[in-house]
């Protein structure tokens, strides 16, 4: 059986480069690529060479975060002559094209697979792996990539548990794949490195998680052997009136948790609207505590990026490792 090829469905955010891409065949000087190449050479070079024939202003390149650089490399590769393109984008590269989130740095090289046992050469620009002949492939933004289910399993296998759970929750929430589809890939590819990590992710994946921050929070909780919370729980007062829906709930501990992903934005945007939003949140917290008797624990992106601080916040709120 040959690789399964289909088109992605649903809306796709256009893949646009965050930096200018300069192509050798569009060189205004008229040379094949000699002018651009010369401008990319030396310690004071003004251009950065992404691949043969594709360049970008060095200052723009150096200002990009890691994830954006990976996207630019993908777009630069799309300008390669068809006969020199490496294969099917996979793993992190496929995830970037499909809009699947990950945690942690992305590889400097693009990730490709060649279905059907074909072999390709690794280069400074590309890491090439073989893949089963029936590897499912979709076309997204005009680029061949492993489909969301295969991509998610590959990421769960090869990246950290935290990153894998973030990926899995997103795929389940957006209905890009079902748990059964994902487990079937793991089970039909036995012996693959990372299968045990993928199974651990599948054990804890939850489509109710509504953001990367919520998924990452839960991954840390699981890794630290803390009580696992329920998600997206609604509370009502004695008269049946809605009080609030919270991100996390530990009903047996009389605790609820709120991940405040907008905190950094509010601190960077001054003004009455920002202060009003903060006041509204505090009033909401107070109402939850008064009406339900539950203690609210709140944390932010800054807390989550410092695990020891995040764990201290949870511990101070009464969420401690299970004995």
CA distance 214 to 34: 50
Query: What pLDDT is recorded for position 84?
Result: 58
For the chain, give the mean pLDDT.
88
Query: What pLDDT is recorded for position 130?
Result: 86
pLDDT digits (tens, 9 = 90+) for 251-282: 999 999 999 876 544 444 445 556 666 677 78
CA distance 250 to 255: 5
Question: Is residue 36 a contact partner of residue 30, using CB atoms and an 8 Å limit?
Answer: no
CA distance 215 to 165: 7
Residues 163-182, mean pLDDT to the nearest whole number: 98
The vertex-48 CA angle with 46 and 49, nearest 5°, equals 135
Tell me: pLDDT of 96 over 90.
yes
pLDDT digits (tens, 9 = 90+) for 193-211: 999 999 999 999 999 999 9
What residues pair up with 235 in beta bridges, in sequence order? 244
Question: Is residue 217 a contact partner of residue 314, using CB atoms and an 8 Å limit?
Answer: no
Class of the 212-316 domain? alpha beta
Query: What pLDDT is recorded for position 81?
Result: 72
Count CB neighbours of 231 within 10 A: 19
* Rg over CA atoms, the chain: 23
User: What residue ranges do the domains of the chain occupy?
Assistant: 81-204, 212-316
CA distance 144 to 136: 10
Query: What pLDDT is recorded for position 277?
Result: 67
């Amino acid at each position: 059986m040959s690789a399964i090829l289909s088109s992605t469905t649903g809306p796709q955010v256009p893949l646009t480069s965050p930096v200018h891409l300069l192509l050798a065949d569009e060189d205004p000087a008229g040379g094949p690529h000699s002018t651009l190449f010369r401008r990319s050479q030396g310690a004071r070079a003004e251009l950065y060479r992404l691949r043969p024939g594709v360049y970008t202003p060095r200052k723009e390149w150096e200002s990009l975060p890691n994830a954006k650089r990976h996207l630019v490399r993908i777009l630069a590769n799309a300008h390669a002559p068809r006969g020199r393109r490496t294969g099917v984008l996979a793993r992190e590269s496929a995830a970037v094209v499909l809009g699947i989130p990950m945690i942690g740095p992305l590889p400097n090289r693009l990730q490709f697979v060649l279905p059907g046992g074909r072999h390709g050469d690794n280069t400074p620009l590309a890491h090439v792996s073989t893949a089963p002949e029936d590897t499912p492939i979709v076309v997204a933004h005009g680029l061949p990539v492993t489909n969301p289910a295969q991509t998610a399993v590959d990421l769960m296998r090869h990246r950290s548990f935290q990153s894998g759970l973030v990926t899995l929750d997103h795929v389940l929430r957006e209905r890009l794949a079902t748990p059964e589809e994902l487990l079937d890939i793991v089970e039909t590819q036995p012996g693959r490195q990372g299968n045990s990590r993928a199974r651990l992710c599948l054990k804890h994946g939850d489509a109710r998680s509504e953001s990367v921050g919520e998924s990452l929070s839960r991954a840390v909780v699981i890794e630290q052997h803390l009580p696992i919370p329920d998600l997206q729980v609604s509370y009502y007062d004695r008269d049946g009136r809605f009080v609030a829906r919270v991100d996390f709930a530990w009903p047996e501990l009389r605790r609820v948790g709120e991940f405040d992903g907008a905190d950094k934005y509010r601190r960077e945007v001054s003004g009455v609207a920002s202060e009003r939003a903060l006041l509204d949140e505090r009033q909401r917290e107070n109402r939850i505590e008064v009406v339900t008797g539950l203690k609210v624990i709140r944390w932010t992106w800054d807390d989550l990026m410092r695990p020891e601080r995040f764990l201290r916040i949870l511990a101070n709120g009464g969420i401690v490792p299970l004995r």
